[in-house]
Amino acid sequence: MKAIEVGVIGTGWCGGIRAETLKDHPLVARLHIAETNAERLAEVAASTGAATATADYQELIANPAIEALYVCATPETTHYTIAREALLAGKHVFLEKPIALELWEADELVELARRNNIKFTIGYSQRFNPKFAFAKKKLADGTLGEPVSVLVSRHITRNLGKKISGRIKLSPAAMEATHDLDFAFWLLEPAKPVRVYAQGANRVMHATTGLPDCQFITVTMDNGVVVMIGAGWILPPAYPNFSHTWIEIVGSEGALMIDDSHKDVALSTLSGGTVFPMSTMPGEQVDHVYAGAMGPETIHFLEAVARDRPVMVTPESARAVMEVYLAADLSTETGEPVTLPLGNEQRVKLAAAGGMR
Ligand SMILES: NC(=O)c1ccc[n+]([C@@H]2O[C@H](COP(=O)([O-])OP(=O)(O)OC[C@H]3O[C@@H](n4cnc5c(N)ncnc54)[C@H](O)[C@@H]3O)[C@@H](O)[C@H]2O)c1
């Protein structure tokens, strides 16, 4: 098996993790990075020893030696544009969520990858959290019997809520619940979502961002299973980017309760108070070991390209998740349940309002 040349576009928080993870991997022949922030570009170029480092991502797209690109730029308006150019150039693409801002954009990307037989995946990192993988296994092997209900309640800190909502008007459904919708639909495959009802609350963030503090989303599946996803982003900053998640999966023959609240390690210092380390959603490198999901996820895509194996998250599944969080935004705004698939009228309404954007 031969090592390949790979590139990372946007080396901020997540792109930085991806570049650091790729830099020493034996399947990476050369690492290339693109980043518009000159200081950050220099920092990541130095820490990864990247073969090339540029402010212009199109240099990576034009480089015929690069086979795979990780697209990790923000704001999220960049995702469709950069991914489309990369797919048109025949690169295999790992794209951070969200796949796109409009459904037609997602459809186009999915079709481009399919038609040209290109590997294309979206960063639903939580599928690489061992607790989430265990849940999938226990449903697939029949331990829990027939699924009845899936509940995920996730809260992240206000620091992260402000970072996200400060750069783009995308809702907690689109930016946070999206991970758990993907998780629930992955668990319940091949069942399909048919109806969405969501509510939000506007006490803290709405005045400055126009976005709710949380959204609670109920999804009915075509096999009758009930999915409930709660996503909030106003926790006090006990730890930057702390993520607290509680999961209940109930089946006809058993139940699985998962505590993913990351409260099991508390670091208390005179200078910094008490914090919960290793509690972000992407996780972090801790000396010789990666604590979290984003490291293994990054390597999985590298291996999928180098070994010509299927990707874990298909773009079609990411597109299906997108339709549900858009429906959740619509339902939050109107107070009415939304039936899937979204009709033309609903899609026009969403486009006019820019989703919840
Ligand atoms: N899977 C997860 O757990 C997870 C967690 C956080 C964020 N995300 C997703 O990952 C994406 C990145 O989030 P982040 O927190 O790393 O963002 P970030 O803002 O920290 O980093 C993005 C970087 O992209 C750079 N950039 C912007 N335009 C560029 C361009 N044209 N070319 C090259 N670089 C460019 C910016 O300068 C910045 O450094 C987001 O879209 C977000 O939805 C996923």
Interval 28-87: pLDDT, tens:
999 999 999 999 999 999 999 999 999 999 999 999 999 999 999 999 999 999 999 999
Whole-number Å distance, alpha carbon 309 to ligand 1 midpoint, is 26
Q: Which atom of ligand 1 is nearest to the CA of 282?
A: 3
Q: Where are the domains of the chain?
A: 4-122, 126-288+318-339
Nearest CA to ligand 1 atom 28: 73
DSSP 101-166: SSHHHHHHHHHHHHHTT--EEE--GGGGSHHHHHHHHHHHTTTT-SEEEEEEEEEEEHHHHHHHHH
Give every CB contact of residue 77 below 8 A, 6+ residues apart in sequence. Answer: 101, 168
φ, ψ for residue 48, nearest 5 deg = -105, -15
Q: What percent of the chain has pLDDT over 90?
A: 88
- Which of these, 172, 233, 222, 179, lies nearest to 198 by C-alpha position? 172
Q: Which atom of ligand 1 is nearest to the CA of 17?
A: 16
**C-beta separation of 125 from 95 below 8 A:** no
Q: Is the pLDDT of residue 354 over 70?
A: no
Whole-number Å distance, alpha carbon 115 to ligand 1 midpoint, is 28
Q: Which atom of ligand 1 is nearest to the CA of 74?
A: 22
Measured distance CA(215)–CA(229) in Å, rounded? 8
Q: Which atom of ligand 1 is nearest to the CA of 175?
A: 43
Measured distance CA(279)–CA(263) in Å, rounded? 8
13-22 vs 294-306: helix crossing angle, rounded to 10: 50
User: Looking at the domain that runs over 126-288+318-339, which CATH code has it been given?
Assistant: 3.30.360.10
Task: Please give the torsion angle defined by the CA atoms of residues 17, 8, 161 and 269, in that order, rounded to the nearest 10 degrees.
Answer: 20
pTM of the predicted structure, to 2 decimals: 0.97
Whole-number Å distance, alpha carbon 74 to ligand 1 midpoint, is 4
Interval 75-90: pLDDT, tens:
999 999 999 999 999 9
Measured distance CA(116)–CA(56) in Å, rounded? 25
- pLDDT of amino acid 356: 58
- Which of these, 30, 312, 31, lies nearest to 186 by C-alpha position? 312
Instruction: Give 14's pLDDT tier (boundaries 50, 70, 90).
Output: very high
Interval 232-291: pLDDT, tens:
999 998 888 889 999 999 999 999 999 999 999 999 999 988 999 999 999 999 999 999
Tell the CATH topology of 4-122: Rossmann fold (3.40.50)
- What mean pLDDT comes out for the span 302-315? 98
Nearest CA to ligand 1 atom 2: 282
